[in-house]
Homo-oligomer: A and B are copies of this chain.
């Protein structure tokens, strides 16, 4: 298959590109390098340096003999998007090319607006370009479980059958997103759903949980094939941050009570899930939603798991409850479904001491590079 990875420079995009390339697919990666620019703005870096995309593609070729075609491209530039779709006419498009951080989006109007403009208008350009040049292509779009919020009922996969006043219909599952970033994903989902219904495009929306992990099989092949790793308050995610905190003897920073319950998956499972979606495409006109995660934990449970795993190796980890910078429920019902990817054959890699030890050990090699000043939350959801 010809597979285009949008946002191929990122934490998940680059490992996804290698994963499909290794399997013999023709892989094209695009990126506008917005994330790299935002890191500059914020004064944040990956825990280890990440070579640029051209370099990584060259190393990949040397190591495996396979090509990963690098095509710098900005989804906000409609003409460029039309052109690349016309040139390659991919069979599948894996779309990671969005501003990926909730805290980033909550830093005032400019960043909220950048997030919604980049994500929503970029995806709109992509949809029109697909309609024009590759209407049969399967769009695999990365969404987030944070689109659903924390309703007091089970979270189904994208749709729910509602019985109401003696009648029934299956309708889009109601969304209660947590941030301007999460809102941008909801807007995208609504636009894509419409284009599938209206034009007959085919798409899978992967509502992904919080990803953790350092390595995939391919990142280990060569020191320059690694992917980025953030542990800061803006681009870092909770479990990655906890592991870094444990390594550098920083208390784990649990926001508020820590009863906030979320979904998680290992980075290797992200690749498996995307592969399952790509190799089992949606039908013409179908907008399919998969909830993409393997496990559910509260933030406090996660902290305790990291603490326990580390204590087995003589590392004494402290857990701090700090004021919650976000507006979110700290105790709530949470029961999301993830049957669809399991039915397609996903065998979850569950969080274990082994996985935490792998992370802690890898982070240990870069211990001296950790910036201790970026692990406490600086972005507040409400300013007064």
Check B167–A109 contact: CB distance below 8 A: no
Let me know if A125 is at the binding interface, CB within 8 A.
yes
Let me know if A168 is at the binding interface, CB within 8 A.
yes
Interface string of A173-215 (1 = CB under 8 A from B): 1111101100100110011001001111000000000000000
Rounded to whole Å, the gap between the CB of A193 and the closest CB of chain B is 8
Let me know if A23 is at the binding interface, CB within 8 A.
no
Check A154–B164 contact: CB distance below 8 A: yes
Copies of this chain: 2
Q: Once bound together, how far apart are the Cα atoms of A154 and B200, in whole Å?
A: 27
Check A168–B183 contact: CB distance below 8 A: no
8 Å CB interface, A54-105 against B = 78
| Residues from chain B with Cβ under 8 Å of A365 in the complex | none
* Among listed A112-120, A251-259, A309-317, A343-351, interface-contacting one: A112-120
Point out the residue from B125, B171, B333 that lies within 8 Å of A151, measured CB to CB.
B171
Rounded to whole Å, the gap between the CB of A305 and the closest CB of chain B is 27
Let me know if A40 is at the binding interface, CB within 8 A.
no
Let me know if A124 is at the binding interface, CB within 8 A.
yes
Q: Once bound together, how far apart are the Cα atoms of A382 and B121, in whole Å?
A: 20
Rounded to whole Å, the gap between the CB of A80 and the closest CB of chain B is 13
Check B167–A154 contact: CB distance below 8 A: yes
| Residues from chain B with Cβ under 8 Å of A186 in the complex | 187, 190
Rounded to whole Å, the gap between the CB of A227 and the closest CB of chain B is 31
Q: Once bound together, how far apart are the Cα atoms of A34 and B241, in whole Å?
A: 47
A interface residues with partner B (beta carbon < 8 Å): 78, 108-110, 112-113, 116-117, 120-121, 124-125, 128, 151-154, 160, 162-165, 167-169, 171-177, 179-180, 183, 186-187, 190-191, 194, 197-200, 327, 333, 381-382
20 A-B residue pairings within 8 Å (CB atoms): A109-B125, A109-B128, A117-B121, A124-B180, A152-B168, A153-B163, A153-B168, A154-B165, A160-B162, A162-B174, A163-B163, A167-B333, A171-B176, A172-B174, A172-B176, A175-B190, A183-B190, A183-B194, A186-B187, A197-B327
The 4 closest A-B pairs by CB, nearest first: A171-B174, A152-B169, A109-B128, A153-B164
